[in-house]
Structure 1
Amino acid sequence: MVRKNKLKFNPNYAVHPGETLLETIDAMGISQMQLAERTGKTTKAINEIIKGKAAITPQTALQLERVLNIQASFWNSLQKRYDEKIAELIEATELAKQVEWLKKLPIKSMIKNNWLQKKNDDVSQLKEVLNFFGMASVYSWEDLWGKALVDPQFAFRKSESLDIDPFSVSAWLRKGEIASQKVQCSPFKATLFKQKLKEIKSFTLESPDIFISKLKDLCSEAGVAVVFVNELPNCHINGAARWLTSEKAMIQLSLRYKTDDHLWFTFFHEAAHILLHGKKELYIDYMDNKGTGLSGLLTQQEKQANDFASEHLLPFSIYNNFIKSRNFSKDNIEKFAKENGISPGIVVGRLQFDGLIPYKTHLNGLKRKYSWDEFDWVCSEDTIEKQ
C-alpha cells in the first residue's frame, strides 16, 4: 500500500465569515432583510457583515445561533480564523520587506549546528530565525541586540588581528541564553559561589567526562548556570558572563582553543565578572591567538578578572617563587603542578602568557587537549551544543 503524504493547505488569502453567512441564509431561503428583523439588527449591519466590512461579534454569534440554529462557537471560530489569517498575511508582507537581514547572519552554520531548521522560502526562514532570537521582527532585534552590540557598556573589545562579526556573536550569545534557561539554579549566593570555586580548581586535573557535570552542578547550587556553546564563524569568543535575572547568573564558554589552560582561565575570568562587577552589564571576552589581552573598554574590569583568574588557579606568591628559579623544564613544571594540585598545562599557559616561554614551540604537550566529542557524549542538550 502506498502511503500518501498529507499536505497542509495554507492559502494566501482569507475568507470572511460573511461569505459563509450568505451561503447559509441563501440555502435556508432567508433574505438579508429577514435576518436583520429576526436578529434585531439593521439591514445595513447584516449587509456589512456579508460584504466583509464588519466582524461577527460574540453577541452577533449568539443571535445567529438562535435564528439559524447554528452554534455561536461556529461563527466565533470562523471570525477567529479570519482575523488570524489577516494578521498572518499582513505579517508576511512586512517580513518580506525584511528578508535581506538574513544575509547578515551565519544561517548555514546555525542550521548545521541544529540551532535552526532549514526552510524552503526566505519569509519562513526569517520567521525561524526570529523565533530563535525570541523576537517579533527585525526591528525588535535591532532595538535589543543591535543597540546592545554598539552601546559603550556592551561594546566589543576590538583587536587588530580579529575580524569580529557582531551578528555571529549575537547568535552565539542567544544560544547560550536558551541553553541556560534549561539549567535549574538555586538563588545566587556570592559566598557559596566563592566556596565552590575553591573546589572547582581541582577539576583541572580531571577529564571532561568527570568534571563537566560536577562543574555544572556545583555552580548551579550557587546560582550560576554554566553552558558550553561552540563559537560560530568570526565570533572569536572565549567566554561571556551576564545576569539572566537578579538571582541567576550565566557563564558561557566556547572551548575556542580546546586546551585546558584556555578553558579554565576563561571560566575563572568569567566567574570574576559575576562576583566583582555589575549585574546590568554583558561581559564578552576575546583573546587573540597569542593569548594577549585585547584593548578597549572596561580595561580595568578585564584586568581585575584576569588577576582573579590567575590568583585562583595559581596564587601569585607561589607562582612568583617558582619563576625565580627560571627552571621551566618539563619535569620541573610537572612537579610544581602536582605540588599545587593543578594541571601542568595551566602552568605552561601562565608562563606563555607572561612571556617566559614561547607559545608555539615550548611544552604545549603538557596541555590537555579537548575535543567536542569528549564533551558531547557526557553533556545533556541544555549544557553543550556541538558544532
Structure 2
Amino acid sequence: MDNLATNQYTPDYTVTPGEVLEYELDLRQMSKSELSKRTGLTEKHIIGIIKGKGTTQITPETAIKLERALGMPVDYWLNLEALYQEARARLEEDERLEKNLDWLKRIPVQAMIKMGWLEKHGDKTQQLDAVLRFFGIASVDQWDGLWPNVAVAYRQHNTHEIFPEAVSAWLRKGELEAANIQCRSFDKQAFRAALDDVRPLTAEADPSRFVPALQQICAAAGVAVVFVPCLPKTGVSGATRWVNPEKAIVQLSLRYKTNDHLWFTFFHEAGHILLHGKKELFIEGVNGMDEEKEHQANAFAELELLPKKAFMEFSGRAPLSKTAIQQFAKEVGIAPGIVVGQLQHRGLLPRTHCNDLKVRYQWAHE
C-alpha cells in the first residue's frame, strides 16, 4: 500500500459554511430575517456568512445560536467552518508555492528521492511541499534565514557549478542523522583524547566496523559523526558545525573513496572543532571559506595523523619503498594508505606510486 501522505486527498475547491446554511434555510423555507429574529444575529451578519466573506466566520457563539435555532449541533458548524478555513488556506498556499517552483529546480530532488530522503510526487507543488517539510520550514522565504552562511560561502567553484540550495539539503540530512545520535555534553579535553582512540580505526577496511566505533567514541565527547552521500551540485567532502554549545556535528560526504582522503577530512573537521568558534560553519570542497582557518585545520590533521618528527625522519630516508612505508605505518599506528597519501601530497612520492596500499571503501548506499 502506498504511503498515506502520498494518497492524501486535498480538494481544489471549497464549500463555504454559508452555502450549507443557505441550503438549510431553503430546506426549512426560513428567511434570513426569520433566522435573525430566532438567533439575535443581525441580518447583515447572516448575509455575510452566506456570502462567505472572510471576515464573517462562524464562531462558537454563533454556532450555539444556530444549534438552538436550526437543531444542528455546535460541533457540526464549527467543524464545517474549520474545514473551510483550512481548505481556503491550502488553496492560497498552493498559489504561493506555484510562484516558488523555480526554486525547486535548484534542489537535487531526483537524487534525494533515489536515496530515500524524499517521497516522489507527480505534482510539482506537492513536491515542493515535500522539500519544505524535509527542511522543516514553512516556505521558501525561511530558507534564506536558516542557511545564510551557505549562500555567502559558496562562490562559483573553479570547475563545477555549485548550488547553495543543494548544499543545504546535504547539511539538513546530516542534521537529521545527527539528531539520532545521543551525545554527552561536549568536552574539549575528552574529544582531544578521543582522537587518539580514533587513529587505530584508520587501519580498518570495512566501514560497517569502523563507522559505529568512530561514532561511539566521538559521541562520548559531545560530537556526532555522520556519513551522508554527496548530492549533485555540491562538491563537498565534509562539514563542521554546532547544533548547540554542547553538541557538534562532523559530517562526511563519502565523496572520496580511499582511506587517506576520508581520514584526513575527518581529522581536518576535528581540527575546526578544537581550534575554532562554536558559531562558525565550515564546509570543505569549494571556495569561499576562511583560508587561514582552513590552513590551521589542515596542519592539525597532518600532525594528528603523522607525528612530525617521526615523519620527517622517515621521509628523509631513501628509497621510500612499499615495505618501508608499511613498516613506518605500523610503528606510528596508522594505515599505510594514509602515509602514502601524505607523501604524495607533499611531493615526496609520485601520485602513481604505492596506491595499492590505499584502501578503497565500499559504502552501503553504493
Whether the TM-score (by the shorter chain) exceeds 0.5 is yes
Give the conservation status (yes or no) of the 8 Å contact 1:239–1:270.
yes
**Distance (whole Å) between structure 2 residues aligned to residue 321 and residue 315 of structure 1:** 10
Can you list the C-alpha shifts for 1:257-279, whole angstroms capped at 9, x where unaligned?
Answer: 21111111111110111111111
Counterpart selection for 2:177 from 168, 176, 179? 179
Residue 278 of structure 2 aligns to a residue in which SS? coil
Figure out how many residues of one structure are paired with residues of the other and give that number: 358
Give the conservation status (yes or no) of the 8 Å contact 1:17–1:50.
yes
Aligned to 1:380: none
Task: Mark the CA change 1:313 to 1:166 in structure 2 (over 3 Å): closer, same or farther.
Answer: same
Aligned to 2:101: 99
**Distance (whole Å) between structure 2 residues aligned to residue 208 and residue 61 of structure 1:** 63
Task: Mark the CA change 1:163 to 1:19 in structure 2 (over 3 Å): closer, same or farther.
Answer: closer
Counterpart selection for 2:187 from 182, 186, 189? 189
Give the conservation status (yes or no) of the 8 Å contact 1:259–1:367.
yes
- Counterpart amino acid of residue 333 in structure 1: I
Give the conservation status (yes or no) of the 8 Å contact 2:151–2:164.
no
**Distance (whole Å) between structure 2 residues aligned to residue 7 and residue 168 of structure 1:** 27
Query: Displacement, 1:201?
Result: 0.8
- Counterpart amino acid of residue 268 in structure 1: F
Give the conservation status (yes or no) of the 8 Å contact 1:157–1:297.
no
Counterpart selection for 2:307 from 301, 315, 323? 315
Aligned to 2:252: 253
Can you list the C-alpha shifts for 1:26-48, whole angstroms capped at 9, x where unaligned?
Answer: 32343322222222211221121
- Counterpart amino acid of residue 251 in structure 2: Q
Task: Mark the CA change 1:356 to 1:89 in structure 2 (over 3 Å): closer, same or farther.
Answer: same
Give the conservation status (yes or no) of the 8 Å contact 1:19–1:50.
yes
Counterpart selection for 1:128 from 127, 130, 136? 130
Q: How does 1:362-381 map to 2 (within 5 A)?
A: 362-372=353-363, 376=364
Divergent runs of 4+, >4 A: 6-9, 294-297
Aligned to 2:163: 165
Aligned to 1:75: 77
Aligned to 2:118: 116
- Counterpart amino acid of residue 105 in structure 2: K
Query: Displacement, 1:158?
Result: 6.3
Can you list the C-alpha shifts for 1:168-201, whole angstroms capped at 9, x where unaligned?
Answer: 2222112112211222222111111111111011
- Counterpart amino acid of residue 259 in structure 2: D
Query: Looking at both structures, which has the greater relative contact order when contacts are Cα pairs under 8 Å and sequence separation is at least 6?
Result: 1
Task: Mark the CA change 1:241 to 1:96 in structure 2 (over 3 Å): closer, same or farther.
Answer: same
Unaligned runs of 5+ in 1: 1-5, 287-293, 377-385
The sequence identity of aligned pairs, in percent, is 48
Task: Mark the CA change 1:188 to 1:320 in structure 2 (over 3 Å): closer, same or farther.
Answer: same
- Counterpart amino acid of residue 256 in structure 2: Y
Aligned to 1:381: none
**Distance (whole Å) between structure 2 residues aligned to residue 367 and residue 273 of structure 1:** 25
Task: Mark the CA change 1:162 to 1:23 in structure 2 (over 3 Å): closer, same or farther.
Answer: closer
Residue 191 of structure 2 aligns to a residue in which SS? helix
Query: Displacement, 1:295?
Result: 6.5
Q: Is it true that 1:358 corresponds to 2:350 in the alignment?
A: yes
RMSD: 2.0
Give the conservation status (yes or no) of the 8 Å contact 2:252–2:266.
yes
Residue 14 of structure 2 aligns to a residue in which SS? coil
- Counterpart amino acid of residue 366 in structure 1: L
Give the conservation status (yes or no) of the 8 Å contact 2:154–2:287.
no
- Counterpart amino acid of residue 313 in structure 2: N
Q: How does 1:222-241 map to 2 (within 5 A)?
A: 222-241=221-240
Residue 104 of structure 1 aligns to a residue in which SS? coil
Aligned to 1:148: 149
Aligned to 1:304: 296
Task: Mark the CA change 1:157 to 1:317 in structure 2 (over 3 Å): closer, same or farther.
Answer: farther
**Distance (whole Å) between structure 2 residues aligned to residue 158 and residue 118 of structure 1:** 30
